[in-house]
Structure 1
């Protein structure tokens, strides 16, 4: 049987599922000799298997592979070593867990052996937020925060975001190519501050988002010393200023009856329910400010890219958006945009804004019969599951209809599609985030049509949240 020649359509998004080989640097990385070994010897008589992996280069290990190839490298580890493996990443051994069963075992955390590992990786920027909390405090804070994410609260945030997105897009350039990545990140900030803090973007909101960006950039800082002039030092200073400012704002926010997140959170709880103090409100608000900006910007970038690559889907989404004349846009109206919903889901399946969940073992445990010692950092590779041919039909292809009723490929396994995580640490703001991305794209689709250069394929970078390293060259044309 002869092998069928692969057409350009078959080769779609291959860089997301296979490590690139087009650059001389890729050849260098492939030439690194294996330095395999076991993570740790299982306890005698336990019947457990050791975790196998590779050290790679001294200290650097496979850190460069992670940053350059993202889930494609994690897929290679899965194929080479199975669903539980390890590799060295910048001086630290990290266990990589991929595949639906292994991911479920860690995120379900039935034997309470795993705690959040994010502070070990990104630093203190989310301290006090749900992402950095463990039981029992995590559960208590999460229950209290639910009121800030109920249907009524979301309606207020999204109405504000939709209005601000429509206004901000009026200043975007048309008729020439421009870098969409920084523009979308700026847009995300413009639609965030009034909904989260009750502040207009100019001038106070802009200063706040610049400080938040300092914290975001520090997540991947190589030099983690608080030396003046370094990224790490600037981020600590920015976080300190933000927390002080938010703490001062809490009393006024609690009495002004506003529908922004800070005001709503300041009013939650009461007699018999408990309440957050001012510091806790400030920390949760800062985490929400950063998370509702960074991950939604990444999701918007991915969706804009795939709609630029697939104008037929862009036209379908636009036609759906234009059937609604409701102004201002409400959360209920956005929830009715089913085509746009499927497009966003497919975009973040292919390029997940949060491709991993970090955990650390707090005692000796096992995953699928493999021994993990206490104190072990674990990367739960949820984005790998979203690219597995065992779970998805032609997984590298952009096909929003896979989420349609009747196909429902995302329901093949509960961990097949998990961009918001799973278990007790599943993102509390997932509906909020999806609605924000919808509001932004709805405003964009109703105002413009857009295109990418002929034959363009995004050079995805995974140094932080995924984004095209060339800025994503986009051209807008106003709708007539």
Structure 2
């Protein structure tokens, strides 16, 4: 649904620049340089125009601009057409790609799979999978943390969501997810064999072929996994079709294991380089006196919660959100023409010193009750987005991250080589270019 306001004649024209000949800002866009820099904010302010990937864009920077886009009070900044341009062929009709009444209906049904009762039920198989995965890690020595934790979170997602182990399919599915995600920033946006776009389409097909044959058994069964919950979810007379279930499962599996992987990776890095916080988190876990965390114990991991929030601030798993204006509108007094794509930059919201003191410093205490620096602006901290499209799995993700870190810290002390700084690749979702070499010390 689109709501418009009466036309205004006092709107300012968008500032901006043409960028490079022919490609304009396309390379900066796909490489992630636009995402992790405040140069555009300093030059043009919070709202500016640009052109990338053959489209006209508005860049929204800072909590005022980004907050207005995501809360979308006038219902003109559509998520489906925005994200659809980047990831539509690979994650079509996932919840993030729906709008209006259809989005509301699907989210209402899907919410049945994320109630507190359901989340508590997911924790037991989640804990079991984490234990089994960590048992395969080395007792001590160097470990490429990112690929190892990515495999763990994929195992958690498939076992918890589907009630099944991926087994021999694990590498194939992981490759399919990676290819589908990275295709969003493809420079060549049509299927040339071997290039990102083509690999993303193949990844989508692989995931469909894995999920579709399993729906009938899930509908007939009474399993407690998320796949079964979606098959049986019903609100009044509404339920999901088989196609709906495949679309939502592909999107949820990607979102659950990619975002958790990124957060666990950044937490491991910051804990390894800040041993005093690592000790605080470990002491809390040891105080629980149990190898695996119980649902009612999650809120007792206070220091771990602070570390998780600070890691989400510093390395936000989804650093930018895409929308498209469905009608002529305004943003902070600037005219935004219908059809314009809007890039809302969450990285800048979390890193601009106007709102965060010493923003590049790892300081979990900024979220403690006596400081609450995240309250300086109502849109200063948005790791899960905002508005009606705020991440539906945010509590599931927090539970998985805490459950994993609880076991990890009870098992290992983490460190990194002297002088090491994690090099991040921001070209799609942030990931360490070198896999993050972590030294494990068995406790």
Normalising by the smaller structure, the TM-score range is over 0.9
Deviation at 1:71, TM superposition (A): 4.0
Instruction: Check the 8 A contact 2:325/2:339 in 1, yes or no.
Output: yes
1:293 alignment counterpart:
257
Q: Secondary structure at the match of 2:239?
A: coil
Question: Of 148, 158, 164, which aligns to 2:113?
Answer: 148
1:61 alignment counterpart:
24
Matches within 5 A, 1:238-257: 238-257=203-222
1:161 alignment counterpart:
126
Instruction: Check the 8 A contact 1:159/1:329 in 2, yes or no.
Output: no
Q: Deviations over 1:117-154 (max 9, x none)?
A: 11112342221211111112001111111110001111
**CA–CA distance in 1 between the matches of 2:406 and 2:214?**
32
Instruction: Check the 8 A contact 2:32/2:426 in 1, yes or no.
Output: yes
**CA–CA distance in 2 between the matches of 1:378 and 1:335?**
37
- Asked if 1:99 is matched to 2:62, the reply is yes
Q: Which runs of 5+ in 1 are unaligned?
A: 1-42
Against the structure 1 CA distance between its residues 299 and 146, is the aligned structure 2 distance closer, same or farther, given a 3 Å change threshold?
A: same
**CA–CA distance in 2 between the matches of 1:112 and 1:254?**
36
Q: How many residue pairs align between the two structures? A: 435
Q: Deviations over 1:15-47 (max 9, x none)?
A: xxxxxxxxxxxxxxxxxxxxxxxxxxxx99711
Instruction: Check the 8 A contact 1:383/1:418 in 2, yes or no.
Output: no
Question: Of 114, 122, 126, which aligns to 2:91?
Answer: 126
2:41 alignment counterpart:
78
Q: Which runs of 5+ in 2 are unaligned?
A: 1-5
Deviation at 1:172, TM superposition (A): 1.9
- Asked if 1:224 is matched to 2:185, the reply is no
Q: Report the more deviating stretch, 448-457 or 382-391.
A: 382-391
Matches within 5 A, 1:174-253: 174-253=139-218
Question: Of 7, 11, 14, which aligns to 1:51?
Answer: 14
Against the structure 1 CA distance between its residues 290 and 72, is the aligned structure 2 distance closer, same or farther, given a 3 Å change threshold?
A: closer
**CA–CA distance in 1 between the matches of 2:413 and 2:343?**
39
Q: Give the TM-score, by structure 2 length.
A: 0.92
**CA–CA distance in 2 between the matches of 1:399 and 1:281?**
41
**CA–CA distance in 2 between the matches of 1:265 and 1:200?**
18
1:309 alignment counterpart:
273
Q: Secondary structure at the match of 2:255?
A: helix
- Asked if 1:326 is matched to 2:290, the reply is yes
Instruction: Check the 8 A contact 1:70/1:462 in 2, yes or no.
Output: no
Against the structure 1 CA distance between its residues 45 and 438, is the aligned structure 2 distance closer, same or farther, given a 3 Å change threshold?
A: closer
What RMSD, in angstroms, separates the aligned Cα atoms of the two structures?
2.1
- Asked if 1:281 is matched to 2:245, the reply is yes
Deviation at 1:228, TM superposition (A): 4.2
Against the structure 1 CA distance between its residues 422 and 240, is the aligned structure 2 distance closer, same or farther, given a 3 Å change threshold?
A: same
Q: Secondary structure at the match of 1:366?
A: strand
Q: Give the TM-score, by structure 1 length.
A: 0.86
2:136 alignment counterpart:
171
2:3 alignment counterpart:
none
Q: Secondary structure at the match of 1:209?
A: helix
Q: Which has the higher contact order (CA 8 A, sep 6+)?
A: 2
Against the structure 1 CA distance between its residues 467 and 70, is the aligned structure 2 distance closer, same or farther, given a 3 Å change threshold?
A: farther
Instruction: Check the 8 A contact 1:254/1:264 in 2, yes or no.
Output: no
**CA–CA distance in 2 between the matches of 1:44 and 1:186?**
52
